[in-house]
Amino acid sequence: MTHQSTTTHTTNYNNWRNSALDLRAAAFLKLSKGAWWLRILTLVIVDCFALFFAWKLAQYQVSPVDTSTYSQNNRISELMVLQIASLALQGTYQSGQQRCDYWGIIKTLTFAQGLILLVSVLYQPIIEAEKSTLTVSWLLSTTFVITGRLAIELALKYLRQRKIIGCNSVFVICEPEYYEQTTKFIKNEKRYIIRGTDTARALDRYNREATLEKLNRLGITEVFIAWDAIKNRMFLCWLFQAAGITVNIIPMQLKPIHRQVYIQKVGGMPCLTVSCPTIIGKDFWLKRMFDFCFTALFLLFASPIYLAIAIAIKLDSPGPVFYKQTRIGLSGRQFKVWKFRTMRPDADKLQKELEALNETKDGIIFKIKDDPRITRIGKFLRRYSLDELPQLFNVLLGEMSLVGPRPLPTRDVDKFLDHHFLRQEVLPGVTGLWQVSGRSNILDFEQVINLDMSYIENWSLQLDFEILLKTVQVVLKKEGAY
């Protein structure tokens, strides 16, 4: 690919994603789409009535006296809260067929009842009743709750068949030859209305924004995507999730997926569902809050270290303390990355003369093991990655995160192929999976892309903390740093 064509790619990318956010983030915290709240409210109300009558009837059967006192009702309420919480933790209020997992409901209520009995025996009676009361209440609770769930399921089926209540608006993305077969399965479920279909091209880089706008305009709450359309685009689940849309993947020639998914049948067709959280973007904004707070505290306490490094640089060689270079960040935006200067002041000019010595296989990233431009103090700073410390200023400004794909210079991005731009979908980081998996020892840029994509697709707060801890170990061992 020529320099002119790659520059065009970069320009188009900048125009396309000029105002976009990190693909893991909603505009800010917002609720998921759909009538999930009505489902949860209905199930909780029905379960509460079922459990309340079960406890009252159990008390009356064992001891047919006045069971309507305030203290007894208050204790029953406490027991019901424990049972409802157990059902919620088991996932019986989630979408799909979890609400009809009757065996799971029996196990959950049995566990809750056992917990009540254990606390009553070891500490103090939660409810003034004989053990037979707990036995009868367990039998009645499981019977009434399952009966209530079955009644809800039959009522929903009846109302949906007669179009009395609305169904979920869905959109199908697959190749034309699979339209008829896929839509037939979905229509068999009787709880979906297909609002439109499109091919895999709807997920291409330049079409995604228009596709999301179309889905929002149609009020889509779920999408069904053929595996062939998303097999190399699993990171797109973040985009749909940020829009509050649940993703159902129609499995065809599946390979391992490292995401939290559950299997459900839609009209008899197996689907892998990547569910949408109730509050969208909360994990990403927690990450941003942690980035800001941790960085601010670190800069406050580490200021003497910064001062000592600055003095050492000034004594070692002439030139500025800091080195600022234009890097390409989120959505192709340019920004100035801060580093402690580790090279001669004319290093950028000398780089053109050293291009022939570049050790990377594809030439995208410029790396030389014994770079003659590096100063004496610069070698020490690079060995322990201390030259990267000023990038915490970029984190405070919101231009970078503590963890993410490393931002690359304009010179490198100008040589990108089309699929390389995927790493620009998320906020760049001071450290990342690339840095803890070999750093400068990785000389093939495709390996870097694979690591970045693995990070994006499997991102979680836990993964960020693991990378931060691994970074400390890698720096102390001086692995792959030069």
Q: What is the pLDDT of residues 365-404, one digit of tens each?
A: 666 767 778 888 988 898 888 999 999 999 999 999 999 9
Count how many residues are written for the chain: 482
**What would the mean pLDDT of 185-210 be, rounded to a whole number?**
87
pLDDT of residue 440: 58
Report the alpha-carbon distance of residue 186 to residue 163 in Å, rounded.
Answer: 16
CB contact burial 216-243 (16+ within 10 A = b; e otherwise): eeeebbbbbbbbebbbebbbbbbbbbbb
% of the chain at pLDDT higher than 90: 22
Q: Characterize the bridge pairing of strands 401-403 and 429-431.
A: parallel
pLDDT of residue 121: 67
Average model confidence (pLDDT) across the chain: 80
Highest mean pLDDT among 159-163, 257-261, 472-476: 472-476
Q: What is the pLDDT of residues 72-104, one digit of tens each?
A: 666 778 788 888 988 888 878 876 667 778 888
pTM above 0.85, yes or no: no
Least confident of 351-360, 368-377, 466-475: 351-360
**What would the mean pLDDT of 40-55 be, rounded to a whole number?**
89
**What would the mean pLDDT of 330-344 be, rounded to a whole number?**
90
Q: What residue segments make up the domains of the chain, in order of their start? A: 36-161, 167-280, 282-477
Write the CATH number of the domain with boundaries 167-280.
3.40.50.20
Between 256 and 154, the more confident residue is 154
